[in-house]
């Protein structure tokens, strides 16, 4: 369902509301016509307005969803502007803000639950207050921190990522990868051995054969030693090239 706000900013009930009929929406307090909600351009203002929604919500928002949304926004306030811009971009979309706050269900097909799958495969399932299903990029800083992962690289191509991973043998990473021309990122696990440039594996529940050589990355490293063997399914990954080794079969 789309979200609306009362056109009268003086209305006591001026807040984000949910209506069943998007062709005829009226403010439940003053009876005036409501207009489609347009999030403010500034991060702090957007957070304030979403707090209004969480404090005066339709009954369909659970305490779990409210806790998650507040935790994400609180952590996001001290993150890089890149994540704040992603937050502002996503909540402008009529379908995405309801997903974030729990007014609509998140997709949970295999192609969109890569974050949940990666966390589970790495032995660090999502927090109890984090909803299952598709995740937003702006949720990742909070989620990874809550699960004990440390951000080590931000928006770097594979050659720069290599510099980080090559000095940390026997490590395991959760890596959010965005291939060129693809607006949707995908999370995989990269595990390094004693010699990271020679011993490296990628874990991907979907077993995609994507070339990540020119991709951008968000990488988090675990403080725990890498498991041996790596989480399944995995195959050899050429860290120096940012590519999966084509001759390598997926180990199930």
* Cα angle 26, 27, 29; round to 5: 140
**Residue-level pLDDT at 168:** 87
Dist. CA 14–CA 29, nearest whole Å? 9
Percent of the chain with pLDDT over 70: 81
Write out pLDDT tens, residues 195-248.
988 899 999 999 999 888 888 889 999 988 899 999 999 999 998 888 888 788
pLDDT at residue 13 greater than cutoff 50: no
Residue 38 confidence class, pLDDT cut points 50, 70, 90? low
**Residue in 162, 157, 165 with CA at minimum distance from that of residue 218:** 157
Q: Find the mean pLDDT for residues 135-141.
A: 96
> Are 55 and 66 in contact, with CB atoms under 8 Å apart?
no
Torsion of CA 160, 164, 167, 172, to 10 degrees: -130
Write out pLDDT tens, residues 85-118.
899 999 888 889 889 999 889 999 988 999 999 9
Q: Count Cβ atoms within 10 A of the Cβ of residue 93 and give its class: 0-12 exposed, 13-18 middle, 19 or more buried.
A: exposed
């Amino acid at each position: 369902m789309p979200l609306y706000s009362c056109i009268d900013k003086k209305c006591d009930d001026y807040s984000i509301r949910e209506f069943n009929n998007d062709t005829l929406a009226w403010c439940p307090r003053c009876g005036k016509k409501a207009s489609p909600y347009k999030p403010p351009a500034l991060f702090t203002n957007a957070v304030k307005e979403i707090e209004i929604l969480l404090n005066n919500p339709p009954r369909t928002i659970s305490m779990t969803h409210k806790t998650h949304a507040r935790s994400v926004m609180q952590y996001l306030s001290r993150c890089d502007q890149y994540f704040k811009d992603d937050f502002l971009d996503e909540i402008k979309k009529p379908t995405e803000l309801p997903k974030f706050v729990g007014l609509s269900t998140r997709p949970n097909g295999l192609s969109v639950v890569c974050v949940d799958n990666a966390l589970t495969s790495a032995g660090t399932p999502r927090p109890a207050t984090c909803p299952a299903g598709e995740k937003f990029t702006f949720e990742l800083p909070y989620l990874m921190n809550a699960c004990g992962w440390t951000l080590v690289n931000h928006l770097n191509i594979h050659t720069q990522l290599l510099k980080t991973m090559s000095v940390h043998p026997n490590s395991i990473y959760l890596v959010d990868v965005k291939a060129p021309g693809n607006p949707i990122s995908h999370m995989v696990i990269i595990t390094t051995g004693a010699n990271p440039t020679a011993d490296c594996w990628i874990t991907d529940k979907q077993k995609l054969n994507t070339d990540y050589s020119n991709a951008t990355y968000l990488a988090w490293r675990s403080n725990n030693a890498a498991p041996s063997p790596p989480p399944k399914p995995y195959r050899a990954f050429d860290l120096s090239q940012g590519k999966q080794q084509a001759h390598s079969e997926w180990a199930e």
